[in-house]
Amino acid sequence: MFVSSIEWIDKESGEAEVYISDGKFTLTCFSHPFNKNIGDSLTEPIYSLDSRNIMSIEHKKVSAHKTDNAFSYLICGELIDKDNKIVLLGEIKLCLEDAHIPKDIQVGTFIQFETLRLNIY
């Protein structure tokens, strides 16, 4: 995953709207302070804040659809690390940091969830 575009909210303070892509999916994320350039790779996952309505889905569907505000999404992806709450959307890693993942959902399960904001730290 890499930085595909940057829109500065306040360049002096390092506050930015950052577009992260894997070549197939592109997500709009908030970052502060942001200190990378277009084309730079990200090794840390994108953090999904206020993730909710987490549920398993039967089909192996991977998608991301924007919802009401600039940083909110409805995402479908594969749970690849339950302990660290990591979901894979294509080649993009998302961490559902403070979310409660239901006990019946196991690694390898495709899930759907809503997120109010995606952050890069």
Give tens-digit pLDDT for 60-103. Answer: 989 999 998 878 999 999 999 999 999 999 999 999 988 999 99
**Ordered DSSP codes for 13-35:** TTEEEEEEE-SS-EEEEEESS--
Q: Residue 66: in which H helix or E strand, if any? A: strand 63-66
Give tens-digit pLDDT for 27-55. Answer: 999 999 999 999 999 999 999 999 999 99
Give tens-digit pLDDT for 8-32. Answer: 999 999 999 999 999 999 999 999 9
Question: pTM for this structure?
Answer: 0.93
List the chain domain ranges.
2-120
DSSP state of 64: E
**Which pLDDT value is given to residue 61?**
87
Q: Is 41 exposed, middle or buried (0-12, 13-18, 19+ CB in 10 A)?
A: exposed
